[in-house]
Amino acid sequence: MSCENLWYVNGTTCDCPPGFGGSNCSQPACGGDIFQGSSRSLASGSPFANLTGCSCEQGWTGTGCNVCQSASACQSAFSNAGGSTASLAGAQAGQNNTVVCNAVPRVYTASQMSCEVINPSLQALFPLSSTLNILRTLNPSLTPLPNITGFGTNGSVYAQLFYSGVEQFYCTAGSCTQDLGSGDGSSNWNCQNLQCTCRAGTTFCGSGTVSLTSTIDGLSGTLGISCNPPAANAPPGAHSGSKTSLGGGVIAGLAVVGGLIALALLFLVFGWVSQRRARKAGPGATGRRGGVAVDWVDVSYFVAGDSSMRWLRRRRRDDLADQKVVLDGVSGRVAPGEMMAILGPSGAGKTTLIEILAGKHKSGHTTGVVSFPSSASALSPRVGFVPQQDILPPTLTVQEALLFAARLRLPEGIPDSEKQARVDDVMEKLGIAHLQRVRIGDGENAGSVAPDVLILDEPTSGLDSVSAAKVANVLHALAHDVDSPTAVIASIHQPSSQLYQTFDQILLLSHGRALYSGPGGFAPAEHFAAQGIAYKEGYNVADHLLDIASDPPVGLFQLSGHVRTESHDDPDPHNEGTRLYSSLMWLVACVLGVFCGGLYFHTGVTIAGFQSRVGCLFFLGALIAFSSLSALYNVVEIRPLFLRERSASYYSPTAWLLSRFFFDVLPLRIIPTIIVASITYWMAGLAHDAAHFFKFLFILVLYTLAMTLFNPPRVSLPQRRHRDPAQCAARAVPNDIRGVLRAPQRHPAGAALAAVALPAQEALSVNEVGSGLMIQDSLEGVPIDVSAALIMQTLFGFGVNNYYRDVLVLFAFIAGFGVVSLWWSGSRIATKDPQDSHTKFPPPSLLTEQTNMTSPSTRILDHIVHLTPPGTLDSTAAHFRALGFTVVPGGTHTDGLTANVLVVLGDGTYLELLAFTHAPEHYPTGTPERTKRDAHTWAPKRPGWIDFAFLGNDGAPSVAALINARAEAEGSGGGESARGALPFFCGDLTPRTWRVPLEPSENAQHANTARGIAHVRLLTGKEEFDALARQLTSVVGAPPLTSTPSEATWELEAQHLPGEKTTDASPQLVLSVAESHEEGEYVRARGAGIYEIAARVGKGQDGGVAVTPFGRIVWLPAA
């Protein structure tokens, strides 16, 4: 007999330590107290006793209720146990009748301890509660009840660790000495000969994801136990008001936060004081309006001829040889009270000159002088600027928008009532006073909050003639205000005759040069008439000037004193930024790569280090997800242009989408991703070999493509919040974190692959672990050296063989998003406004479509066919015998081409192992035998599981009905069924009593205890899944028990043999979409078909997968 917990055999029984009982001391006590000894009730459970449901009596605590809490509890328990002076040899009367509960670290006789084990590394592997019981025995003969309250030899230690109420392992040590230290009440035990035993089959020792058996069983050497008095374990400052619970670093951090808050408050106070002073000062010092002229002399503007990386170079001011000229020596003047129009064809430089006069920052090189002379004050003038495409807040009314601008742009010294009066005055002059409560939606731009100089870029663009005239009249009135005349400059693209006549001054530009600058009206026409360019009577003067500027004679440039031979269009300022965008993206990618690599620099190989590695991979995925949002912005920005050009039949939507995709993806997605990933990979110290590095890059590139293709269709969504990049980012963060950090096994069926981030994160982690990464750490001083694959599976639930499956999933996302994007570009965006339609996608047909289920199928699984190569039937039979099956001889079929042997199972199903008797080459070409051989149903099949059959109700008629139901679901119009035809239904019309050798009964008894079929699993491609699911639903005659977009399961029945009726669950038919790399290769090589069968074996048998030469068998032990 052997006793658990390292205890002793006393004759034919085990003497158990305190708190344990049973025949082999393996059952812990459940409740009671330590004085009850063997009479205590014991915990139950199978295969291990569990203390979870046990509770302690009052005054007792700890796992197993062995630790006293009060002297009264000890005294009561001692008295109830019949304790007396006889318990201690040599005791005088009354000396052993009073029991004291020892609650200090020092041990006098024997001491029970119970504590909770708190260790982050251990809790990461085993998250439930762990407790440790320790019995320290100094002198067992002095305990109140020897051999009951104290066991073992002098100076011994016994300990047990419980996890979730189940004992996991136990340890003992001897030759212990007690050191009472310096008298502070502490007790230190130093022991020798440590020995531990792991209980096989417990969570720590084999049944969990990580087995610590070898580690625990290998523990030896010395053991130290240090116990401090309760006062020493109190938190700092608990006994003294002069101490603090905050560390120095926390105090410093709080000081910094307090300083920042104080600084922010100081700025608020400063701003409030400045505002009060400005309001008290009144408008006198800052309320000046008008009276400022605009004077510019010899203004020129150049942009670099080669824009590549010019922002990294520093040029000399006179290095203009290779620069393009946009403006060339333009001069002019506008006095207060005058209104100038800048005219010229497209590309003449109007917008550039307007922006230079308004003081806007330009990326090119500007020369010349712009001044604002005024005799009224030396203060800087207020220059109002209205861009051509003004962006107004769409949620505000017209009055609110103007008042908002007035309050921000006008000085604080102007009372708010005057600001409101000015807004009302502007609205009245524009004729939109009746729209003051209407939300913004009209194109009339109000360009006045009483500035000193007002500059406008094409203020009448997009307005009808009436609105344009209103704007011109307002500007004219503003410029010619008697009290405060204002200089107004506006570029006008194509003014009408009426609009032209409102301007006092005209500046005509052509190819960046001024052809005319002077009074308006007919003066320009007279000027050019004097140069030989006649004016046609009655012709619009503005059109006449634009005709001249479009193709000016060379003599006009010579008269102006500027002789330059080259001329250039005014470049779009957005193009300059676009040319640099990719370069800037690459630079940002380098910075992000260094930042991310520095954040995870040289991660270690501990458990925490592995978590950091996975965190690094997640951080990279998040960066890619956020950067892909710019693809959404690009499409939103370009959509109006696409609609215009598409309506003019410039190109097809597909060509537009593909060009946008390729020219956006390569420079702005793929290359930055590679840069960030490459820098981070080597800085973080990930797997140092080329193969894993390129597999790492491959996954990130696929993820980038998927996220990029995900964005374009969002433009057509009816809700604007789905298209806004900021809100997309806000929604993406929690979704991405939930999809990645939530363990896959906790997702609903099929939902784990719904998030693009999850397969990418899993593939990156599996690739890193696949390099042979080992975790080297210690748990409370116990060293561990395990494969990172175990930690990955435990913490994140990732499968170690899922890399290529995830690659396929990412490719599926790319293909799916690509198809949706092509559909979107060809229909939604090209023809409809996203606000006007709501596309409804039909749900999966498998879940909602009513399928014909009137077939008289019994759903009884009859047999499964396994094909082996020609002439190998005997060797295949021997292989199945080696797997533990009883193989029954069969025979040769009537056609003489095939032969079989059978494996009969107790649930009535059987396996038909079939092979052709000869290879095709055995028969001469052209002979009837060869023709018959080539036309056989099984001839094109590859070896493996190839078919299965149902059993009809009444023989041939029932089977024929099933065949017709299947054909109707296929849409083939009925007809006879051949073996092997999808969906794997074959009508075997031979009576079952002729096919199944029922006698002797040993035919259905197998050494591997196989007694039936648990499931038949079919694999197919995603494109064929719905069609096959509908066919199988028709054949089975019932809808699937469970159904997801990638898997459906039907319940079948079995025809049990006489005397073999079991309580096993019914067999199931499972149709799955190929997901892993191995499964995908199987479907590509063989087409849709049976991938594996599961055999139900006896209880206690080992599970697993057996791979036959041409098929898979899964062993499923019975519950």
Q: Is the pLDDT of residue 244 over 80?
A: no
Residue 396 sits in the same domain as residue 494: yes
Cβ-based neighbours of 452, under 8 Å, separated by 6 or more: 288, 289, 290, 291, 292, 372, 374, 381, 382, 383, 486, 487
Residue 926 sits in the same domain as residue 898: yes
Rg, Å, the chain Cα set: 44
Using the 8-state DSSP alphabet, how is residue 235 labeled? P
Per the model's pLDDT, the better-predicted residue between 632 and 748 turns out to be 632
CA 908/CA 902 separation, integer angstroms: 12
Cβ-based neighbours of 396, under 8 Å, separated by 6 or more: 404, 439, 440
306 within domain boundaries = no
Q: Report CA-CA distances (Å) from 775 to 783, 793, 909.
A: 10, 13, 47
- The region, left, alpha or beta by phi > 0 then psi within -120 to 50, assigned to residue 340 is beta
252 within domain boundaries = no
294 within domain boundaries = no
Q: What is the CATH number of the domain that holds 1080?
A: 3.10.180.10
- What pLDDT does 1089 receive? 87
What share of the chain in percent tops pLDDT 70? 73
Residue 442 sits in the same domain as residue 527: yes
Placement of tokens 């005509």 in the chain = 508
Q: Is the pLDDT of residue 879 over 70?
A: yes
- Name the band, by pLDDT with cuts 50, 70 and 90, for residue 848: very low
Q: Is the pLDDT of residue 480 over 80?
A: yes
- What pLDDT does 540 receive? 84
- What pLDDT does 826 receive? 63
Residue 940 sits in the same domain as residue 1074: yes
Per residue in 762-786, pLDDT tens?
Answer: 888 888 888 888 888 776 666 777 7
- What pLDDT does 190 receive? 92
- What pLDDT does 574 receive? 42
Residue 925 sits in the same domain as residue 805: no
348 within domain boundaries = yes
259 within domain boundaries = no
- What pLDDT does 504 receive? 92
Per residue in 92-127, pLDDT tens?
Answer: 555 556 778 888 888 888 888 898 888 777 777 888
- Name the band, by pLDDT with cuts 50, 70 and 90, for residue 537: confident
* DSSP-derived pairing of the beta strands 20-21 and 27-28: antiparallel
Per residue in 179-227, pLDDT tens?
Answer: 887 777 788 999 999 999 999 889 999 888 788 888 888 888 889 888 8
| Pair 494, 542: CB distance under 8 Å | yes
β strands within 437-486, DSSP E? 453-457
- Name the band, by pLDDT with cuts 50, 70 and 90, for residue 496: confident
User: How many other C-beta atoms can be found within 10 angstroms of the C-beta atom of residue 939?
Assistant: 13
One-letter amino acid for residue 555 of the chain = G
Q: Is the pLDDT of residue 507 over 90?
A: yes
CA 1107/CA 1113 separation, integer angstroms: 6
| Pair 784, 778: CB distance under 8 Å | yes
Q: Is the pLDDT of residue 958 over 60?
A: no
Mean pLDDT of 852-872: 71
- Name the band, by pLDDT with cuts 50, 70 and 90, for residue 975: very low
Using the 8-state DSSP alphabet, how is residue 184 labeled? S
- What pLDDT does 162 receive? 92
Q: Is the pLDDT of residue 380 over 80?
A: no
Residue 825 sits in the same domain as residue 956: no
Q: Is the pLDDT of residue 377 over 80?
A: no
Residue span of the structural domain in which 102 resides: 8-230
877 within domain boundaries = yes
| Pair 585, 667: CB distance under 8 Å | yes
Residue 193 sits in the same domain as residue 224: yes
Write out the two tokens for 235. 């938190």
Q: Where are the alpha helices (DSSP H) in 81-184?
A: 120-125
840 within domain boundaries = no
Mean pLDDT of 394-401: 76
Residue 855 sits in the same domain as residue 719: no
pLDDT mean across residues, the chain: 76
Q: Is the pLDDT of residue 744 over 50?
A: no
Per residue in 290-313, pLDDT tens?
Answer: 678 899 999 999 887 554 444 444
Burial classification of residue 270, based on how many CB atoms lie within 10 Å of its CB (0-12 exposed, 13-18 middle, 19 or more buried) = exposed
Per the model's pLDDT, the better-predicted residue between 631 and 787 turns out to be 787
Q: Is the pLDDT of residue 550 over 60?
A: yes
One-letter amino acid for residue 7 of the chain = W
Per the model's pLDDT, the better-predicted residue between 7 and 878 turns out to be 878
φ/ψ of 447, rounded to 5, equals -110, 30
Q: Among 797, 831, 865, which residue terminates a domain?
A: 831
Which helix (DSSP H) or strand (DSSP E) does residue 881 occupy? helix 873-882
Per residue in 781-828, pLDDT tens?
Answer: 667 777 888 778 777 778 888 888 888 888 888 888 888 877 766 655
Q: Report CA-CA distances (Å) from 514 to 342, 349, 351, 551, 556.
A: 10, 10, 14, 14, 10
The residue among 991, 992, 988 whose CA lies nearest residue 980 is 988
Q: Is the pLDDT of residue 586 over 60?
A: yes
Per residue in 677-694, pLDDT tens?
Answer: 899 999 988 888 888 999
Burial classification of residue 27, based on how many CB atoms lie within 10 Å of its CB (0-12 exposed, 13-18 middle, 19 or more buried) = buried
Mean pLDDT of 710-730: 52
What share of the chain in percent tops pLDDT 90? 10
- What pLDDT does 1017 receive? 92
The residue among 723, 724, 712 whose CA lies nearest residue 826 is 712
Q: Mapping DSSP to helix (H, G, I), strand (E, B) and coil, where does residue 985 land?
A: strand
Largest CA distance in the chain: 144
Residue 103 sits in the same domain as residue 184: yes
Placement of tokens 């130290």 in the chain = 224
Residue 12 sits in the same domain as residue 97: yes
- What pLDDT does 1036 receive? 80
CA 788/CA 253 separation, integer angstroms: 36
CA 105/CA 125 separation, integer angstroms: 31
Q: Is the pLDDT of residue 866 over 70?
A: yes
| Pair 913, 925: CB distance under 8 Å | no
- Name the band, by pLDDT with cuts 50, 70 and 90, for residue 903: very high
Write out the two tokens for 471. 């704007």
* DSSP-derived pairing of the beta strands 487-491 and 339-343: parallel
Q: How far apart are the first and last CA of the chain?
A: 30
Q: Where is mean pLDDT largest: 445-459, 467-481, 957-971?
A: 467-481
Any idea which of 576-580, 719-723, 791-795, 838-842 has the lowest mean pLDDT?
838-842
- Name the band, by pLDDT with cuts 50, 70 and 90, for residue 131: very high
Q: Residue 576: CA atoms inside 13 Å, Cβ hemisphere, count?
A: 16
Per residue in 1015-1063, pLDDT tens?
Answer: 999 999 888 888 888 888 877 878 888 888 899 998 888 766 555 555 5
Q: DSSP secondary structure string, 636-679?
A: HHHHHHHHHHHHTTSS-HHHHHHHHHHHHHIIIIIHHHHHHHHH
Q: How many domains does the chain have?
A: 4
Residue 792 sits in the same domain as residue 877: no
SS (H, E, C) 1037-1078: CCCCCEEECCEEEEECEECCCCCCCCCCCCCEEEEEECCCHH
Percent helix, percent strand, percent coil in the chain, to nearest 5: 40, 20, 40
Mean pLDDT of 831-860: 38
Length of the chain: 1119
Q: Residue 753: CA atoms inside 13 Å, Cβ hemisphere, count?
A: 21
Per residue in 946-957, pLDDT tens?
Answer: 888 877 544 434
User: How many other C-beta atoms can be found within 10 angstroms of the C-beta atom of residue 994?
Assistant: 7
Q: Among 191, 208, 230, which residue terminates a domain?
A: 230
- What pLDDT does 858 receive? 59
- What pLDDT does 925 receive? 85
CA 941/CA 1089 separation, integer angstroms: 10
Q: What is the CATH number of the domain that holds 512?
A: 3.40.50.300
The residue among 942, 937, 876, 939 whose CA lies nearest residue 912 is 876
- What pLDDT does 286 receive? 47
890 within domain boundaries = yes
Any idea which of 401-415, 650-664, 687-701, 783-797 has the lowest mean pLDDT?
650-664
| Pair 60, 171: CB distance under 8 Å | no
Residue 827 sits in the same domain as residue 851: no
pTM of the predicted model as reported, rounded to 2 decimal places:
0.38
Q: Is the pLDDT of residue 137 over 50?
A: yes
Per the model's pLDDT, the better-predicted residue between 958 and 283 turns out to be 283
Q: Among 230, 258, 283, which residue terminates a domain?
A: 230
Q: Is the pLDDT of residue 977 over 70?
A: no
CA 567/CA 939 separation, integer angstroms: 78
- What pLDDT does 353 receive? 92
- What pLDDT does 161 receive? 93
Per the model's pLDDT, the better-predicted residue between 6 and 869 turns out to be 869
